Amino acid sequence: MAHGAHGAHGAVMQPPLYAEPGAGVYNEKLGMWVFLGSEVMFFTALIGSYIILRVATPAAWAPLSERVLNVPITAVNTFILICSSVTMVKAFAAAQLGRQQALCRWLLATVLIGATFVGIQVFEYQELIHKGFVPSAGLFPSTFYTMTGFHGFHVSVGVLCLIYVTWKAFRGKYTGADHRGVEVVGLYWHFVDLVWIILFTIVYLI
Amino acid sequence: MPDVAHQPGPGEAAPEHKEPPYIAIFFVLGVLTLVELGVAFLPWPKLTLILLLLLLAVWKAVLVALYYMHLRFEPNRLRMLAIAPLPLAVILVVAVIQEFS
């Protein structure tokens, strides 16, 4: 008994293990990557359900040429989102170099282009609803609005985050040595672009 | 006391590297989008079209992840973290789709 207590006491007195270096990145960035990992699973659930429903009920999906979706305007919108990724990454490059004016300019451009994407998506929704393509009209419309709606929500959140980061940039809060906010929001923004690349192909082109 | 490994700060998250060709990648993404549009309406067998379109989409997604999200220049541990959910996503879809195919 006494020996056991001594042993336990001895274990408590052992020196603590030293922290491992981790992934070699700062905490905010690591946190964003973990969050993006969970987002992958979120969108997998949506896209996976869409694929499974489509395989299970092929009659519910009209051929590409007969669908009401406006592919050309969405292709332009896809290109717009890709443009916003470029402006975002240029903002990050400017932040790394400590170029304040360029950082503000590129961030502002990203906000405007991102908002344009959301605006075009709203216009597309209005057009589709006008044609009777409403969520309750069938399996394809309901899955379409669920996937593109959640993506649009993510883009909208991204635009709000970008507005905050841009406001901070205009106040000179980011330097060449510390521009974590720009990098972290940039990761989120590029991820949203990446998801749209996949969604555009699966929903609009296949 | 053993020396704890250096934790890189915000400005030194990744080793120094030359700025990636952001604009060149932008043009590649634009061209691939145009190719996708062209391919989608070709009168080819459906399976061929699906595989080709998925290949183009994955190509674009990988370019964004590697260069715009800088995964190419990140430590291996972070790359593993980013890639880890992908096999799970594939397993989820492939496993459930067996019920219906």
The pLDDT of residue B10 is: 47
Look at B8 and A25 and tell me if their CB atoms are within 8 Å: yes
- The secondary element (H helix, E strand) that includes residue A152 is helix A139-170
The pLDDT of residue A188 is: 98
The pLDDT of residue B12 is: 47
pLDDT in tens, A141-184: 999 999 999 999 999 999 999 999 999 999 999 999 999 999 99
The pLDDT of residue A76 is: 94
What is the chain B residue with the closest CA to A72? B37
Query: Residues with Cβ < 8 Å from A204, sequence gap 6 or more?
Result: A69, A71, A74, A75
> Across chain A, what does the average pLDDT equal?
90
How many Cβ pairs within 8 Å bridge chains A and B?
152
pLDDT for residue A108 is more than 60: yes
B13 contacts in chain A (CB < 8 Å): 24-26, 29, 183
Contact A91, A162 (CB under 8 A): no
**Mean pLDDT in residue range A196-202:** 96
The helix/strand/coil state of B17 is coil
> How far A9 CA lies from chain B's nearest CA (Å)?
22
Residue B68: which of A21, A79, A190 has the nearest Cβ? A190
Cα separation, A76 vs A83, whole angstroms: 10
pTM: 0.87
pLDDT > 90 in chain A, percent:
75
The pLDDT of residue B6 is: 40
The pLDDT of residue A19 is: 64
Q: CB distance from B81 to chain A under 8 Å?
A: yes
> How far A2 CA lies from chain B's nearest CA (Å)?
32
**Mean pLDDT in residue range A40-47:** 93
A78 contacts in chain B (CB < 8 Å): 33
Q: Alpha helix locations (H) across A21-70? A: 27-56
> How far B72 CA lies from chain A's nearest CA (Å)?
14
Q: Mind giving me the DSSP string for A89-101?
A: HHHHHHHHTT-HH
| pLDDT tier, A61 (very low <50, low <70, confident <90, very high otherwise) | confident
Q: Which residues of chain B have pLDDT under 50?
A: 1-15
The pLDDT of residue B97 is: 84
pLDDT in tens, A174-189: 999 999 999 999 999 9
